[in-house]
């Protein structure tokens, strides 16, 4: 193949960049993902645009920063007018299909206002972030006193489980994400004390193998049409629980020590301290809890890698490796007790730096196979890469897409020129914003990282935080109030402000059209500042020179 015909875009959920052996984990071996890295390019400094599932994914799917697309938190709808991966790829003749998770909320009000029916083709695509859906499974069917978190969550998967003999109203919870004791009591995976227990499900029926098979079923059904398949895995996202044999694979001897310091614990920063003191931060800061969770987390990752082996082996057997670009990444990481936090909602590398591996089957990429790229990369670079791989020119979309294509780099060219990467988090809907008494406009923070210095700006009047990753790669020493780094902070603020001033809302006219308008406006009859016809090009004023009209002034006077 001279060019890739198809794209397999694989995303894991909450996979840390440093929990793969090709990224240096000494005990968690991931030979299948490593093998893919050996066939492609492994990026070491790839950053998401938000440390939370929904906004991060929306940036990847739109190629735009969070405050450009506006879907700033989980379940904040993506505006009905935002163009997405499916829109751009279908414009160049490539289908765009979903198998798995998007964490996208539809703009129901916008659809109602425009008269878009959800069950129409256009309405369905708008409701599903531009994807045609083979199977959507966000992997979330928790239930509380106010009902289900996601009424549409895991419906097909639950149907599959019931067909395999897993009974009950919610086998997703009772079997796939819970353990069981000797008397049949369900030990919920939502309780971290149960994370080191094996899930009560046959391994082949658990979520990761299920989605692998569904992905292969989709690909097998494609014949002549070109496609992108977004195979979006649910794991290793919580609930942290995994079936055997993975539940017993790892123990304390395999765990990396938590990255944290007492100085962090003693911070005077109200926002950083607030995230540390959130329930998940307090829980994962306990070694006994962290040990249980890490056992499951590492097992889930090992299962993901084994399923990559199944998938890659099948692609090789069917010849699809010869015509399919393959991308493996994550939507964010997981603190796992680092910096006294759990979950992912802050800007340390444990959360916002993600693995990124791209395999390009084109013979033009032979020179870069097995190489490592240390350039600063953002996940919103993927969409322009896909547009170019599909045969179009992403620069024609530079009024919409805010990333840069990586295809030239994959084929031996230079890395995209980038002075810094940016990340955003809007925590206005979180309990912490309420505790701090913040207006929603003030519960936002922004990160700028230039490859050495990482600065976090907080709205609401809080001081910035600053880390020197050359001297302090673990990000333990906050220099945000240090007088010695005042000039560094000022320079980073200049970059942040320049980034914030970009014309991100002007998406309905291309930059090429604006350039063309510079010379065309004078040919439409609008003459500004022209004193006489002799001062203009005769062709431009031809419609105004030599014309005759009756003198209506005299007629008016006679009447």
What's the pLDDT score for residue 2? 61
Across 177-186, 243-252, 319-328, 536-545, least confident range: 536-545
pLDDT at 1 over 60: no
- Least Cα distance to 101 among 209, 238, 230 occurs for 230
pLDDT (tens digit, 9 = 90+) per residue, 248-286?
Answer: 999 999 999 999 999 999 999 999 999 999 999 999 999
- Are the C-beta atoms of 229 and 215 separated by less than 8 Å? yes
What's the pLDDT score for residue 521? 64
CB neighbours of residue 471 within 10 Å: 9
- For the chain, what is the mean pLDDT? 95
What's the pLDDT score for residue 127? 84
pLDDT band at 514 (very low <50, low <70, confident <90, very high): confident
pLDDT (tens digit, 9 = 90+) per residue, 188-207?
Answer: 999 999 999 999 999 999 99
CA distance 134 to 232: 12
pLDDT at 519 over 80: no
pLDDT (tens digit, 9 = 90+) per residue, 155-179?
Answer: 999 999 999 999 999 999 999 999 9
CA distance 125 to 174: 32
pLDDT at 304 over 80: yes
- Are the C-beta atoms of 388 and 394 separated by less than 8 Å? yes
Strands (E), 371-417: 371-373, 377-378
pLDDT (tens digit, 9 = 90+) per residue, 527-544?
Answer: 889 999 999 999 999 999
Q: What number is the average pLDDT over the span 506-527?
A: 84
CA distance 30 to 246: 13
pLDDT band at 559 (very low <50, low <70, confident <90, very high): low
- Are the C-beta atoms of 275 and 346 separated by less than 8 Å? yes
With a CB cutoff of 8 Å and minimum separation 6, the contacts of 317 are none
pLDDT at 346 over 90: yes
Q: What number is the average pLDDT over the span 55-75?
A: 96
With a CB cutoff of 8 Å and minimum separation 6, the contacts of 12 are 233, 235, 236, 304, 328, 329, 330, 331
Q: What number is the average pLDDT over the span 395-415?
A: 96
CA distance 540 to 523: 6
Q: Is the C-alpha dihedral spanning 338, 343, 349, 354 positive or negative?
A: positive
pLDDT (tens digit, 9 = 90+) per residue, 71-113?
Answer: 999 989 999 999 999 999 999 999 999 999 998 888 889 989 9
CA distance 420 to 454: 9
What's the pLDDT score for residue 64? 98
- β partners of residue 187: 179
What's the pLDDT score for residue 557? 59
CA 259 to chain centre: 25
Q: What is the pTM of this model?
A: 0.95
- Are the C-beta atoms of 206 and 160 separated by less than 8 Å? no
CB neighbours of residue 6 within 10 Å: 22
Q: Could you tell me whether strands 371-373 and 41-47 are parallel, antiparallel, or unpaired per DSSP bridges?
A: parallel
What's the pLDDT score for residue 460? 97
Percentage, residues of the chain above pLDDT 90: 87
CA distances in angstroms from 169 to 15, 146, 174, 263, listed in the order given: 30, 17, 9, 48
The torsion angles phi and psi of 268, rounded to 5 degrees, stand at: -95, 5
Q: What number is the average pLDDT over the span 393-400?
A: 96
What's the pLDDT score for residue 558? 59
What's the pLDDT score for residue 524? 84
> What 8-state DSSP symbol labels residue 439?
-
């Amino acid at each position: 193949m001279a060019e890739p015909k198809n794209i397999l875009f694989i995303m894991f959920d909450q996979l840390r960049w440093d929990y793969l052996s090709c990224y240096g984990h000494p005990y968690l071996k991931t030979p299948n993902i490593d093998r893919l890295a050996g066939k492609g390019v492994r990026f070491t400094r790839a950053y998401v645009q938000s440390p939370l599932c929904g906004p991060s994914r929306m940036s990847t799917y739109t190629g735009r920063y969070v405050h450009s697309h506006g879907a700033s938190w989980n379940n904040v709808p993506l505006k009905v007018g935002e163009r997405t991966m499916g829109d751009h790829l279908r414009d160049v003749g490539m289908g765009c299909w979903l198998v798995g998770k998007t964490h996208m909320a539809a703009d129901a009000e916008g659809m109602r206002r425009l008269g878009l029916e959800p069950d129409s083709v256009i309405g369905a695509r708008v409701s599903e972030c531009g994807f045609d859906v083979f199977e959507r499974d966000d992997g979330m069917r928790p239930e509380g006193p106010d009902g289900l978190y996601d009424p549409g969550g895991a419906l097909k998967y639950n149907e599959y489980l019931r067909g395999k003999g897993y009974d009950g109203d919610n086998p997703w919870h009772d079997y796939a994400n819970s353990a069981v004791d000797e008397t049949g009591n369900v030990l919920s995976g939502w309780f971290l004390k149960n994370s080191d227990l094996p899930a009560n499900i046959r391994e082949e029926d658990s979520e990761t193998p299920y989605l692998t098979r569904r992905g292969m079923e989709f690909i097998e059904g494609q014949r002549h049409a070109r496609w992108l398949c977004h195979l979006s895995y649910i794991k290793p996202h919580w609930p942290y629980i995994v079936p055997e044999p993975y539940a017993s694979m790892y123990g304390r001897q395999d765990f990396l020590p938590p990255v944290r310091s007492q100085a962090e614990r003693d911070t005077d920063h109200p926002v950083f301290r607030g995230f540390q003191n959130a329930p998940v931060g307090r829980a994962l800061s306990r070694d006994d809890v962290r040990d249980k969770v890490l056992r499951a987390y590492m097992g889930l990752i090992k299962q993901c890698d084994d399923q990559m082996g199944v998938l890659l082996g099948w692609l090789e057997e069917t010849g699809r490796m010869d015509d399919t670009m393959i991308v493996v990444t994550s939507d964010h990481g997981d603190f796992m007790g680092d910096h006294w936090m759990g979950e992912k909602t802050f800007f340390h590398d444990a959360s916002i730096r993600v693995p990124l591996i791209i395999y390009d089957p084109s013979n033009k990429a032979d020179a870069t196979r097995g190489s490592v790229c240390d350039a600063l990369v953002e996940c919103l670079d993927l969409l322009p890469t896909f547009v170019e791989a599909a045969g179009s020119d992403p620069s024609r979309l530079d009024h919409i897409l805010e990333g840069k294509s990586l295809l030239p780099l994959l084929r031996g060219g230079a890395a995209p020129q980038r002075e810094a990467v940016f990340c955003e988090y809007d925590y206005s809907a979180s309990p912490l914003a309420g505790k701090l008494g913040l207006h929603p406009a003030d519960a936002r923070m922004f990160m700028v990282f230039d490859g050495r210095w990482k600065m976090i700006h907080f709205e609401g009047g809080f001081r910035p935080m600053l880390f020197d990753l050359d001297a302090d790669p673990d990000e333990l020493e906050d220099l945000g109030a240090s007088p010695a780094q005042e000039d560094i902070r000022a320079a980073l603020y200049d970059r942040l402000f320049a980034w914030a001033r970009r014309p991100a809302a002007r998406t309905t006219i291309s930059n090429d059209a604006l350039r063309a308008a510079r010379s065309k406006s004078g040919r439409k009859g609008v003459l500004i500042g022209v004193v006489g016809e002799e001062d203009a090009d005769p062709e431009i004023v031809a419609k105004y020179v030599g014309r005759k009209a009756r003198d209506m002034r005299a007629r008016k006077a006679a009447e």
